[in-house]
Amino acid sequence: MSIFKVKRNWQNTNFLSLTLLLTGVSIVLLPVVIVVFTSFLPTTVNTGNHEQNHWTLANYREAWQRGKFLLAFANSTLVAIAVTAFQIITSALAGYALARLKFWGRQGILLVVLATLVIPFQLLVIPVFLVLKWGSMINTYWALILPTAVNGFGIFLLRQYFQTIPVELEEAAAIDGANRLQILWQIMLPLARPALVTLFLFTFIGEWNDLFKPLVFTTKPELRTVQLALAEFQEQFTNSWPLMMAAVTIATIPVILLFLIGQKQFIRGIAATGIKN
């Protein structure tokens, strides 16, 4: 009898958890559904004395052409990939040093890295702007890449993941004659693929959705990114909600596909980074 009660309580708990999860998913997905649904709103076509409503992809074609998203997609892709590459390289080197090398002041450096996470980029915009201006990099791709080429989150993420990898693997490689860089490149990075994928997703999506840097550091139309193009598009077509929602959907599709492709590695990377201190 007690076993029956335990089983029934377990089923009730599962049902409650499932209900809460479905409710949460519905709340999260509702804005997305509204945006996509609005982008396909019927257009009105005059046919004689009657008006015919029908679903159409014309909103997407018109938004793509009027927003000039082809150039914006190219710029955002270039900037996002470049920043992601820089962050992976710098985070791997710094994270490995903080995780494995024994040197004076290591904990202090780690605390400084963590402290950078609580400083908003907007507070640094004036000195960053002055440095970019001094280096004649305003209105160039470097103005969109270099300010975020190093990130404390990436350093901490890889440092935490490297600490989950057994030291014996490195010792065996060192006995075989491998140096630190060879150990990092040939052993640590392949084993840290979930963390690298996590950092890639975080960085790429963050750069793709960034509006602040293109707005402050560039004025040339040929350097417009997706978010800047979307902001300008919204200013021009404020009264056309289907057209605006089609533009928003166009700008969102790449990051959704990217996350769906790497979601398994992303979950593994996040789950493993807090195992060791």
pLDDT single digits (tens) 189-198: 999 888 898 8
What's the pTM? 0.83
Which CATH superfamily, name and number, covers 58-272? Answer: MetI-like (1.10.3720.10)
Per-residue pLDDT 10s for the chain (277 aa) are 455 554 555 566 677 778 888 888 888 888 888 888 888 886 554 444 444 456 778 888 888 888 888 999 999 999 999 999 999 999 999 999 999 888 888 889 999 998 988 888 888 899 999 999 999 999 999 999 999 999 999 999 999 999 988 888 888 888 888 888 888 898 899 998 888 988 999 999 999 999 999 999 998 989 999 999 888 887 776 677 888 888 888 888 888 888 888 777 766 666 655 544 4
pLDDT single digits (tens) 58-107: 888 888 888 888 999 999 999 999 999 999 999 999 999 999 888 888 88
Distance of alpha carbon 2 from the chain centroid: 49
Q: Write down the domain spans for the chain.
A: 58-272
| Apex 245 CA angle, 242 and 248, nearest 5 | 155
pLDDT at residue 6 in the model: 47
DSSP codes, 109-161: HHHHHHHGGGS-GGGGHHHHHHHHHHTT-TTSHHHHHGGGSS-HHHHHHHHHH
Structure tokens at 215: 């707005």
Phi/psi of residue 164, nearest 5 degrees: -85, -10
On the CB side of 248, CA atoms within 13 Å amount to: 19
Structure tokens at 117: 């996470």
The answer to whether the beta carbons of residues 72 and 226 sit under 8 Å apart is yes
Phi/psi of residue 273, nearest 5 degrees: -80, -15
